[in-house]
Amino acid sequence: MELVKKNIHEYKTKNKATIQITLDDDFNVPDAKPDIEQIVKERGDLHIQSIRVNGDKAEISGELEFALLYMADVPVNMRGHMDFQEKINVENLDGDETTTCIGEIEDLTIKAINSRKVSIKAIISLIVTSERLEDEDFVVDVDTEKENNCDNLQFRKKDMEIAELIVNMKDNFRIKDSIELPAGKPNIDELLWYDVAIKSMEVRANDEGLVISGELNTFILYSAADENQSLQWYETSSAFDGNVDVSGSNADMITYVSYLIQSLDVEVKPDYDGEDRVVSVELVLELDIKGYDEKQISLIDDIYSPIKNIELETEPAKLQKLLIRNNSKCRINQRLKVNSSNKLLQICNCTGTAKVDDVTLTEDGIEVDGVVNVNIFYVTSDDHMPMGCMKGALPFNHKINVATGIDNDKMKYNINVNLEQLNAVMAGSEEIEIKASISLDTICFVMISENVIKDIRVEKLEENSYSDIPSIIGYIVKDEDCLWDIAKKYHTTMDTIKSSNKLQSDHVKLGDKLVLVKSERG
């Protein structure tokens, strides 16, 4: 007798560890730059450079790049970076796992200590995850041809719907854009600031890989190449698309892709006439690609023989079934009070980030609470301080509907939150109205626990044990009885019971009277 098995690949999370670290340092203004009068804009980018595993520790190396725009006689850009190394305890590491780290900037504060020195303080979360590829074998059939079915084996099948992880990889996706200034804009003398953001990114699978599309939103602030070196700004969006080769991909694959900005280069280039009117943007995204195949498997969950002693070796196994895969939207429309003594003349641009603060599993869904941190860059009425910046935090709450009746302890989910649209307009002289659209890209599974058959031993039934069983007995069905359990207990088969009692189905109910006929040895 041979067990026919099917192999299912699963990437299982062995462990996950999260720590927060604080980076705190002071930086001097370079000698070539003028004194700081007021900081009006700031930005931070976190890059994980390496992960080294040593025993139960993961050593993370990275850097925080920062940039700030401050006012002097003219706006001035200042950049720098802070390196860090941190050891994180991650239990049960043995070298066979794939260990990854995601870094998030929880808070970034840049302040001027004096006119020649700035203080940089950042709170950073490091999330280390170890995953391992595990193969799970499931018995789907029993080959009894060699034994000519002499053991009269009976086996019960169970149909299950599972989501098998068939793609788990990382890759880079490069986006290039060339922005040419409109005819009414003067040439660029110096690029002072830029903000680049991905909007409305969509991923679609085909037989070759992934098709990726979206919008690249770019804002630039520059000093013009004119007599007054006037301040100019320009904001535009452009569509991008491209392909990523993925081995094993297919059009029916359920994809779940998250991304981090790995590198960003923005520089001024001359146009065909040799004038500095073109801004080149090159962005590299690090993609975390997961692809799932929904399938139905029919596994054997019990085997017995009415004329032999069957010993089954079983082990617990966990599978996952897809509950939802959707991309829902949450919209915000709120007003912020202007906190500046200077009169706002015009809003230049508004940037922001969406962050999840808390996720609560409810009876019928996943409730997400978060905040959108916005940064509004504007022109003031003060000739001495013509540019200003205002920050705000907009809370949001959104519910993702999930099938009811699921035990929360058995649910596993991932939610990627991205800011799709953000717009700020003046609502009178003292308020700014902000409209935002947040994308919550969600995938949710329910974990299914099963005892799976690993091996089988067939032994001869002792003669006395077999002889002591009556050849024919009468039986009254008890509560929670099923035909399989009755047949197994009284050394017969379901087919024999159905034939002897003229049953049309496998269903029996409380109080039914049955005649059970013991199977005879061949």
Query: Cα 331 from chain centroid?
Result: 21
Query: Which of the listed ranges 76-80, 318-322, 361-365 does the model predict with the highest average pLDDT?
Result: 76-80
pLDDT, one tens digit per residue, over 138-192 is 888 887 665 544 568 888 998 889 998 889 899 999 999 999 999 989 999 999 9
Q: How sure is the predictor about 1, in pLDDT bands with cuts at 50, 70 and 90? A: low
- pLDDT, residue 57, reads 85
Give the fold, CATH level 3, of 467-522. Membrane-bound Lytic Murein Transglycosylase D; Chain A (3.10.350)
CATH 3.10.350.10 in the chain, residue ranges? 467-522
- pLDDT, residue 342, reads 63
pLDDT, mean over the chain: 88
Beta bridge partners of 66: 44, 80
pLDDT, one tens digit per residue, over 200-256 is 899 999 999 999 999 999 999 999 988 878 889 999 999 999 999 999 899 999 999
- Rounded to the nearest 5 percent, the helix, strand and coil shares of the chain are 5, 70, 25
- pLDDT, residue 390, reads 85
Residue 107: partners with Cβ closer than 8 Å, 6 or more residues away: 121, 122, 123
Residue 249: partners with Cβ closer than 8 Å, 6 or more residues away: 167, 205, 206, 207, 208, 209, 210, 291
Long-range contacts of 341-345 (CB under 8 A, 24+ apart): 342/380, 342/381, 342/382, 342/385, 342/388, 343/380, 343/381, 343/429, 344/378, 344/379, 344/380, 344/381, 344/388, 344/426, 344/429, 344/432, 345/378, 345/379, 345/380, 345/381
pLDDT, one tens digit per residue, over 89-128 is 887 666 667 888 889 998 999 999 999 999 999 999 999 8
User: For 88-92, 101-105, 292-296, 446-450, which range has the lowest pLDDT when averaged over its residues?
Assistant: 88-92
